[in-house]
Amino acid sequence: MNVPRLHPDTIEQVKQRADIVDVVSDHVVLRKQGKDFVGLCPFHDDKSPSFSVSPGKQFYYCFSCGAGGNAIKFLMELGKRSFGDVVLDLAKRYQVPVKTVEPEQRQELQRQISLREQLYEILAIASQFFQHALKQPQGEVALAYLKTDRGLSEETIQQFQLGYAPAGWETLTGYLVEQKRYAVELVEQAGLVVPRKTGDSYYDRFRDRLMIPIHDLQGRVIGFGGRSLGDEQPKYLNSPETELFDKGKTLFALDKARADIAKQDQAVVVEGYFDVIALHAAGITNVVASLGTALSLAQVRLLLRYTESKQIVFNFDADRAGVQAAERAIGEVAALAYRGEVQLRILNLPQGKDPDEFLKTHTAFEYRTLLTQSPLWLDWQIQQALAGRDLKQADQFQTGLQQIVQLLGSLPNATLRTHYIHRCAELMSQGNARLSIQLEEDLRLQVRGQRWHGRSQKWQTKSDRTLLEEAEAQLLRLYLHAPNFRSQIIAALEAQDLEFSLSHHRFLWRQILELEEGSQEATLLISPAKQELEVLKGGRSQEGRDSQSTSETAELAVSEVDLLDRLQDRCTDFPNEMRLVYALFNLDEKTKQDIMRAPLTIRAATACMERVMCEKRCRHFLSLWEKTEAGAIEEGQYYQEKIYNEKLRIEELDRQRRVDFVDLVQVPWTGE
């Protein structure tokens, strides 16, 4: 709204009376730390408390994103509101008399201030009206439903301010307009009445319905949910979007749940109003519900302000509609979940019950136990992909496999991918150990293909090749000259799904693997003769020789074989190919230092290699996104999400490379 210029005295008094802790705690869960308070910053996706509030200085500051200021600036930045709007709200809250520079503007100012206040007032009076009607003869059916069918106590009914909207067409309209003298236009703006098609009168939006008030974080009524008591459709009717009520940014009962969400460091999201009410009545008070629509990303981000561990449990119904609702909700936050910015779990109660039904035959302790056992979202989606499928049927097996590949292909963390590939192979093999091994390898290849649709050189730039040339050379040189780190190099390549990209490096790697495989086979053949020789020398007992594992013997043999000599022997067989990699067989002062700092070198080199692959994938998805047709919204969003995830991974790799570079500079070379 266009706010007249406020008098400096009013602004100064607001600054003096507005308490920063009081204001901020309406939006952020604050914890006392010394003389100040700390919490999760509401201005960025804060993963650990970096937001500090100083009551002494009346100032807030985020050590991560740099946001800072007083109470007025906090509300301006948080709600994207004007200075005048915020000062007026704070003046009302702290009962500061409002003066403007031009006295003649006070009437207009008061009108603007009063709009939202009048809407709050109308909704509060309507809520009281509905509560009163519940206790009257006309509300007997509704009250009996609450107490008998729902099993709610009088205390719970009062806590949630439940009420009843009488069946008449103009009962509430008459009460608010004729008795309370509110303008009917204001009552319409509050979402309580609807204009008739003739345009000459209004009728009640809610009729013969059980009324459930919806509150904002300050506990003010901003809307209603109305449940029909007969066959009238829809079964649940919500208030429309208003000046005060935005369904996509509101969660039912968050005003009552936020303190316990912070205390328990976990938020539970259910589908229905009565699921929330029943759980709160049972003492499980960290529970909220969406408002008849799919859970939005904005609602999830709202919850994440109150839990440091970012743990959210979706407890939707286990029927088909509930499963679809869970999948839609997961889709909203999948990007956050894949990046680990939300610990998302899914709880489906036994026999397909909703929480309200479950608590009629089970205890709160049993519900809490199931909460702790609820699977991570990805485990749940894997279960859904395989549920009801006969995996002995080729077509059903293939469909389940494709869904799992798509799920795992989006995981950015290589270690997690390895874990889930192994787990899914076990699930799909159904106890067949040999099939499990083969499936694991097939899954790994398909997931790699899902993550990168072909490793085409067309997406590679000159700078990529330069970076790869150095990184791959470092790893190969290290493998040749530092046998003790060979297993670490192989593990790093496998963990990050990396391959040698440059043709001459791929050739050398194949030669190395062939020689080592032959060397291990030779070791297995000669080890009995070596053992007999040791016995003759008195060096080891028969029992000690028998206890030595095959893998240890093979590893010892590989380290004893002079890999460099055997590779150099192949120069005569492959002169052109070996000429390109021969420089790796020798060390200079710089490369000797790389050998001495092997763990750092491995980390930095593999980070460089993965970064190049991320850049290539990013260019690939960008090209697909640019070719997406205008109407293909979901496809476009899919490619945008892929691009975003790759860029996040690139940022993470760059941070890792910077740390490794600092370490490389600081660690002195101790070689001769």
> H or E stretch including 344?
strand 343-346
CA–centroid distance for 92 within its chain: 37
Question: Where residue 19 sits, what CATH number does that domain have?
Answer: 3.90.580.10
- Mean of the pLDDT values across residues 413-421? 84
With cut-offs at 50, 70 and 90, classify the pLDDT of residue 546. very low
8 A C-beta contact, residue 305 and residue 31: no
The model's pLDDT over 120-149, given as tens digits with 9 standing for 90+, comes to: 999 999 999 999 999 999 999 999 999 999
Residues 256, 213 share a domain:
no
Average pLDDT over residues 290-318: 84
Average pLDDT over residues 600-610: 89
Q: How confident is the model at residue 344, as a pLDDT?
A: 93
Residue 284 belongs to a domain with what CATH number? 3.40.1360.10
Summary mean pLDDT of the chain: 82
Contact 308, 266 (CB under 8 A): no
* End-to-end C-alpha distance for the chain, whole angstroms: 76
Whether 669 maps to a domain, the answer reads: no
Question: Which residue has tokens 């919500």?
Answer: 238
Query: For 168-203, how does the pLDDT look when each residue is reduced to its tens digit (9 = 90+)?
Result: 999 999 999 989 999 999 999 999 999 998 888 999
Q: Report the alpha-carbon distance of residue 362 to residue 383 in Å, rounded.
A: 25
Mean pLDDT, residues 415-426 taken together: 89
User: Mean pLDDT over residues 255-278, rounded?
Assistant: 92
Residue 243, amino acid: E
Percentage of the chain lying above the pLDDT 70 cut: 84
Of the residues 409, 434, 451, which one is the last residue of a structural domain? 451
Res 119 pLDDT > 90: yes
> pLDDT class for 418, splitting at 50, 70, 90?
confident
| C-alpha distances in Å from residue 169, one per residue of 152, 196, 224 | 29, 11, 17
What pLDDT shows up at residue 289? 95
Separation in Å, CA 584 to CA 258, 426, 505, 567: 61, 41, 10, 11
What confidence tens digit (pLDDT) does each residue in 29-62 have? 888 888 888 989 998 887 788 898 988 778 898 8
Which whole number is the average pLDDT over 633-644? Answer: 73
Q: Is residue 671 part of a domain?
A: no
Do 473 and 427 fall within a single domain?
A: no
Contact 295, 334 (CB under 8 A): no
Domain membership of residue 1 (yes or no) is no
The answer to whether residues 134 and 235 belong to one domain is yes
Closest CA to 3 of 24, 11, 74: 11
Span 152-176, mean pLDDT? 96
Euclidean distance between CA atoms 597 and 232, whole angstroms: 75
Peptide bond preceding 234 in cis form (omega within 30 of 0): yes
What is the CA 101 to chain-centroid distance, rounded? 48
Q: Examine the fold and report which residue of 340, 374, 408 is the final residue of a domain before the chain moves on.
A: 374
Regarding whether 483 and 628 lie in a shared domain, the answer is: yes
**What pLDDT is attached to residue 659?**
53
Check whether residue 573 and residue 495 sit in a common domain. Answer: yes
Among 87-96, 385-394, 448-457, the minimum mean pLDDT is found in 448-457
Contacts of 496 (CB under 8 A, 6+ apart): 414, 606, 609, 610
Whether residue 667 is contained in a domain is answered as no
- What pLDDT was estimated at residue 654? 82
Residue 362: both structure tokens together: 């089970």
Query: Residue 457 — very low, low, confident or very high, per pLDDT cuts 50/70/90?
Result: low
In a domain, 69, yes or no: yes
Tell me the sheet residues that pair with 60: 53, 69
- Same domain membership, residue 405 and residue 462: no
| Alpha-carbon span 76 to 414, nearest angstrom | 42
* 311 token code pair: 């743990």
Q: How many CA atoms lie within 13 A of 533 on its CB side?
A: 5
CATH of the domain at 168: 3.90.980.10
Exposure b/e, 543-575, CB count within 10 A at least 16 = b: eebeeeeeeebbbebbeebebeebbeeeeeeee
pLDDT at 458 over 90: no
Distance CA 449, CA 647 (A): 19
Residues 168, 231, single domain; the answer is yes
Q: How many separate domains does the chain show?
A: 5
SS3 string, 424-465, reads HHHHHHCCCHHHHHHHHHHHHHHHHHHHCCCCCHHHCCHHHH
Shared-domain flag, residues 391 and 432: yes
Per-residue confidence (pLDDT) for residue 444, from 0 to 100? 84
Which of 108-122, 309-323, 511-525 is least confident?
Answer: 511-525
182 in the same domain as 230: yes
Domain boundary among 92, 107, 122: 107
Is residue 530 pLDDT above 90, yes or no? no
Q: Tell me: do 589 and 631 sit in the same domain.
A: yes
Range of the domain at 315: 249-374
Q: Tell me, what's the pLDDT at 103?
A: 62
More confident site: 535 or 482: 482
Buried b (16+ CB within 10 A) or exposed e, 192-214: bbeeeeeeeebebbbbbbbbbbb
d(CA 40, CA 308): 7
User: Quick check: is 670 in a domain?
Assistant: no
Angle between helices 320-338 and 297-304 (to 10 degrees): 60
In a domain, 125, yes or no: yes
Q: Is 530 helix (H, G, I), strand (E, B) or coil?
A: helix
Is 484 domain-assigned? yes
Dist. CA 39–CA 265, nearest whole Å = 13
pLDDT at 106: 61
pLDDT band at 460; cut points 50, 70, 90: low
254 shares its domain with 365: yes
Q: Are 400 and 391 in contact, with CB atoms under 8 Å apart?
A: yes
Instruction: Say whether both 54 and 134 belong to one domain.
Output: no
Question: For the residues 434-445, what does the mean pLDDT come to?
Answer: 86
